[in-house]
A and B are shown apart, each in its own frame.
Chain A
Amino acid sequence: MSRHLDIDVAIIGGGLVGSSAALALRGMGFSVALLDKGFCGAQASGVNYGGVRRQGRPREQLPLSQRAHAIWPRLKELIGIDGEFLRSGHLKLARSEAEMAALEAYAEAVADQGLDLELVGHNGLRERFPWIDGSILGASLCAGDGHANPRLVSAAFASAARRAGAHVLENTPVTGLTRNGKGFALEAGEGIGLSARVVINSAGAWADRFATDFGEPVPLSRIYPSMIVTEPLAPVMTVNIGMEGGGIYARQVERGNVVVGGERGLPLDDPDFSRPRGAGALAIMNRTAEIFPALRHAQAIRFWSGTEAAMPDRNPVIGFSGTTPGLLHAFGFTGAGFQIAPGVGEVLAELVRDGRTPTPIDAFSITRFSRPPVPPENHDRTSHGSGAGPHPEPQSRGAST
C-alpha cells in the first residue's frame, strides 16, 4: 500500500491532545492528518482516571486549565457525546492540621484565578459528606470540577475530527520526519508519505524522540499510574475525591463502580506496557475501605495502568520548537493532561493559525530545558501547600522540590 497526502498540518499522536488539536484545526479550515501508531485514544488519554480537575494545579497551568474548563460542558455539541462528564465537584481531603494548612495556603495563592475554592471544616464534612471517615480533618472543595469517562471522550474527539474532515490514520506509526524546503516530509505506516507545512508532536510518552531528532532533547521519563475499579455499588460518593499530600483519589461513576488511583505500576519487558503492582494495589484498596466505610465490603474487579510522559518540573511542553520552524510540541503532561487537553488543542490551533495564543503558555516552552535553570523561589509560586506524598493523584504541582 503506497499513498501520499499533502496537507497543512500533520499531527503525530491521536491522544486527546492530538485529536482535539485536529478538531480545532478543521474548524479553522486547515487540512489535517492525524496519525496514531495504534488506535486514537488507546494510550494515556483513554485509560486515565478521568479526573477533570483544576484544583491542585500549579498556578502557571490555571489559565490553560480554565480555558479547558469552559470546553468540558460543551462536549455534546463539540463531539456528539457528553463523555459522562459530571460537574460533581472535587474535594481534596486533609488528614492533619499541616495538610489543612497546605490546602488553605493553596486556596489563598490561587484566589485570583477563579477556582472558587471552598474550605470545609470537620463539622461541615460530617454534615455534607457523611460517607467520608471521621478521621479526615477537613477539605477543600472546588465545586466546578468533576470527572468524565476517558474511554469515551478520547475516542470521540478523534471520531469528531474524522467527521469534520481530518484524515485519521490509525495503526499508522510515524517512522520518519524530516524538514524540507516548504515544510516537512513524513513517512508513516506501510508506504504512506505525507507533506505538511506544520507538524504537531503530540506523541505522548513517545514524543521525546521527535524532539531529539530536531536537536532539542528533553528529560522525559515514563510513569505508569495504576487504577483499581470496584464492582458496581449503590451510590455513595457525590464528589471526585483527592487527598492533600497524596494517598488515594477516587470517584464513583454513574453505573456505580468506584475507580481508585494512587499507585504506580511497573513496566513490563516492553516498556510500552506496564502492570499494576499487586501489593501496591492492595494497600490502596485497604486505604479506600478505611476512608470510605461504605466500601468496606466491596470487591475490586480489575486493575489497569497506563503509560504517561513525565517532565522533571511536572509541567508539560507546549509551544513552538526552539530549533525548527513549523514544528510544535505538546507532550509531557505528567499525569494531569486529561482535563487540560481540550484547551491545549485550541491553543495549538491558534499557534498554527496566528503564530500566538492569548492563553499564557511561556512556562511550558521546550527551551526551558536548554536554558540554565531559574532558582525555584523566583517562579515557584504555588509550592507552599503541596508537600507531594509518594502517590498523589496524577497532577502537576509546579516546581516543588
Chain B
Amino acid sequence: MSERPQPLIVGAGPAGIRAAEALVAAGLCPLVVDEAPACGGQIYRQRLVQDGRSTKDLYGSEAGKAERLHAAFAALEGRIDYWPQALLWNLRDGVADIAVGGTSRRVAYDGLVLATGATDRVLPVPGWTLPGVFTLGGSQVALKAQGCAIGSRVVFAGSGPLLYLVAWQYMKAGVEVAAVLDAAPASAKLNLIKALPLDPGIVLRGARFVAELRLRGVVIRSGIEGLRFEGEGRVSGVIWREGGRERRLACDGVGYGLALRSETQLADLAGCAFRFNQRDRAWLPVRDAAGRASVAGVYLAGDGAGIAGADAAERAGERAALALLEDRDLAIDKARAVTLEAELARIGKLRDALETAFPFPAHWAETIDDATTLCRCEEITAGSIREAVNRLDISEINRLKAVSRVGMGRCQGRMCSAASAEVLAAATAKPLDAVGRLRAQAPVKPIPLALQLAADLPEAAANLPEAAE
C-alpha cells in the first residue's frame, strides 16, 4: 500500500484535523501542511507564547471544542507527517510545491483534501486603510495569538456573526468597546427566529453577547450607512449616518468586516470547476454532499469551500476523508457518513438563516466614493476602476484586472477581488455572477526569488520543440 503516494491535506484547522484523523483511523498516513506555526486554524488558533491565559479565556464557550480538537491532532503525532509553517504555493498534475524551512519541496500526492479556510471580506469605505483600522478577524487574531488589543477605545463595524463575537471578546478582555455598528437593519435580526430551531445554542449565545454588551453601556446601532473612518496618520474616529443624521464617535482602533470569503485559489489551481453561490456572493468550487470536487481525487472541506463555520468544518473534513477512502475502495462506516451529511445539511440551513440576519450590504458598492482606495496593494481607487469600465467598456473581472491592475498586487486579489467584483457589477448594472471570476495564478502567496528548490522530485519538461526560440 505504501506504493501509492500519501494523501495531502492542506490546512490544520477544524476541517483538516478531522480529515487527518479519519484517514489515520483507516490506516493511511497523510501529509498535513499549514502555514501557521500550530494547529487549530482560524477559530481555534493557538497563542504564540504561553501567557497565562486559559483556553476558557481564549475560546470562551468554544473552549471544550478547541481542547478536543487540539488533543485530537496531538494524538495523531507519529501517524501523520505534519509540516507547520509550510506554504503550499502551487499545485499541478498531482504534485504540490511547498515552501517550508527555507526551501521549496515538490510533493507527489494521491488524494488531496483542501481545507484552506477563509479570510475576512471587506468593502472599502473612506479611511479603511488608516493605521488602527483592522479587519474583524485580524482584531481577533491580535487578541488570540498575540494577546494584544488593536486600541484602547475600539469600535467594531460591519456585518456578520463575528461582529458581535469579537466585540464581546474585546469587552471580556477588558478593552473599552465604544460601539458596535451593524450594517444590517435591526429588522434583519428577526430572521434569527428561523435559525432558533436549527441551533438554539448559537442563537442564544449571540443574544447573550448583545445583552452583555448593552449592559456594559456599549453603543449598538443597526442599519448604519455612510460609514467612514477619520484620522491624521492613525484612526481617531468613526462617522456614520443613521436615520438621516450623521454621527461621530472618537476611538483609536476599529475592527471592520463584512463576514468572510473562502480561500479558493488552490481549488482553482487544482482545476476544480466553480459555480456562483448566491448566499456567499462568491464563486465556489463545485462539490458533492461528501465534498468531492469536480476533479477526481480532490476533496473540499470547511470554510474554504463555502462559509459554514467551525462545526460544519469539522464534519465536512471527516466526511471528505471518508469520501477519499470510499474512492480508494476502503471500507468506511456508511452510517457515519450519512449522519455527517445530515448534520451538514442542517448547518447549511442554519447558515441560510444567519445570512438573512446578517446580510451583506451590497448597495454600499455603488456609493463607495471615487477617491476611496479599493485595491490597497496597487493603490487603485474605486474611481479609476469606474473610469476604466466606462472608457474601455469593461464588463468582466479579469479584463478589469488587465487594464486597471486591481488584484495584481501582493495579495493577488485575496483582499480586493470581492469588492472589485461588487463595484464592477454595480457600475455595469449587472448581477454579480455576470462579471465573472478572477482566475488564480501561482504562487498563491508571495515567495522569495531566492527560494531554493529541494531535490525531491524532477518536473516534467516543458513542451520544448527542440531548442525553443
Contact = CB atoms under 8 A, between A and B. Distances in A.
Q: Which 4 A-B residue pairings sit nearest by Cβ, starting from the closest?
A: A264-B462, A299-B446, A278-B97, A279-B459
Interface string B17-36: 00000000000000000000
Interface string A300-341: 111110000010101000000000000000000011100000
Contacts of B97: 278-279, 282
Interface in A161-217: none
Given A42-B402, A264-B468, A302-B408, A286 B449 contact: yes
Contacts of B465: 221, 223, 310, 312
A392 B410 contact: no
A278 B95 CA distance: 10
B106 A230 contact: no
Contact of B469 (A222, A263, A299, A397): A397
Contact of A301 (B104, B392, B412, B459): B412
B409 A301 contact: yes
B467 A390 contact: yes
A394 B464 CA distance: 13
Interface in A384-401: 388-397
B92 interface: yes
Contact of A336 (B441, B459, B469): B469
Contacts of B448: 285, 297-300
B151 interface: no
A222 B446 CA distance: 29
Given A151-B402, A279-B106, A301-B446, A159 B392 contact: yes
17 contacts: A155-B392, A222-B463, A230-B449, A231-B410, A264-B463, A264-B464, A276-B442, A278-B95, A279-B459, A298-B449, A299-B446, A300-B447, A302-B442, A303-B441, A388-B467, A389-B467, A393-B469
B169 interface: no
Nearest to B97: A278
Given A279-B453, A286-B452, 19 more contacts: A39-B399, A230-B449, A232-B409, A264-B468, A266-B462, A276-B442, A278-B89, A278-B104, A279-B97, A285-B451, A286-B451, A288-B449, A289-B450, A295-B449, A300-B443, A300-B446, A302-B442, A314-B469, A396-B469
Interface string A31-51: 000000001001000100000
A303 B442 contact: yes
Contact of A392 (B409, B443, B452, B468): B468
A300 B468 contact: no
Contact of B453 (A221, A267, A283, A298): A283
A364 to B, nearest CB: 16
Interface in B379-393: 391-393
Contacts of B186: none
Contact of B396 (A39, A303, A388, A389): A39
A279 B467 CA distance: 19
A296 interface: yes
B459 A277 contact: yes
Which range contains the number of A residues in contact with the other chain? 35 or more
B469 A310 contact: yes
A235 interface: no
Q: Most chain-B CB neighbours within 10 Å: which of A222, A275, A282, A297?
A: A282
Nearest to A150: B402
Nearest to B411: A301
A26 to B, nearest CB: 18
Nearest to A170: B393
Interface of B: 89-90, 92, 95, 97, 104, 106, 269, 271, 378, 391-393, 396, 398-399, 402-403, 408-410, 412, 441-443, 446-453, 458-460, 462-465, 467-469
A280 interface: yes
A264 B463 CA distance: 7
A388 B469 contact: yes
Contacts of B463: 222-224, 264, 266-267
B460 A300 contact: no
Q: Most chain-A CB neighbours within 10 Å: which of B402, B412, B446, B468?
A: B468
B104 to A, nearest CB: 6
Contacts of B441: 275, 302-304
A264 B460 CA distance: 11
Interface in A111-158: 151-152, 155
Contact of A289 (B408, B449, B453): B449
Given A42-B399, A275-B442, A299 B459 contact: no
A111 B271 CA distance: 50
A246 interface: yes
Given A152-B403, A264-B463, A277-B460, A303 B468 contact: no
B100 to A, nearest CB: 14
Contacts of B89: 278
Nearest to A273: B439
Contacts of B106: 278-279
Q: Most chain-B CB neighbours within 10 Å: which of A224, A269, A280?
A: A280
A221 to B, nearest CB: 5
A311 to B, nearest CB: 10
B86 to A, nearest CB: 15
Q: Most chain-B CB neighbours within 10 Å: which of A264, A279, A281, A389?
A: A279
Contacts of A301: 409-410, 412, 443, 446
Q: Most chain-B CB neighbours within 10 Å: which of A275, A314, A392, A395?
A: A275
Contacts of A1: none
A280 B468 CA distance: 15
A85 B243 CA distance: 51
Q: Most chain-A CB neighbours within 10 Å: which of B271, B403, B464?
A: B403
Nearest to A298: B449
B450 A296 contact: yes
A37 B104 CA distance: 39
A368 B399 CA distance: 38
Contact of A278 (B403, B412, B442, B467): B442
A303 B469 contact: no
A265 interface: yes
Given A275-B442, A390-B464, A297 B450 contact: yes
A302 B462 contact: no
A279 B402 CA distance: 26
A267 B95 CA distance: 16
Interface string A245-276: 01000000001000000011111110000011
B368 to A, nearest CB: 23
B450 A269 contact: no
A231 B464 CA distance: 29
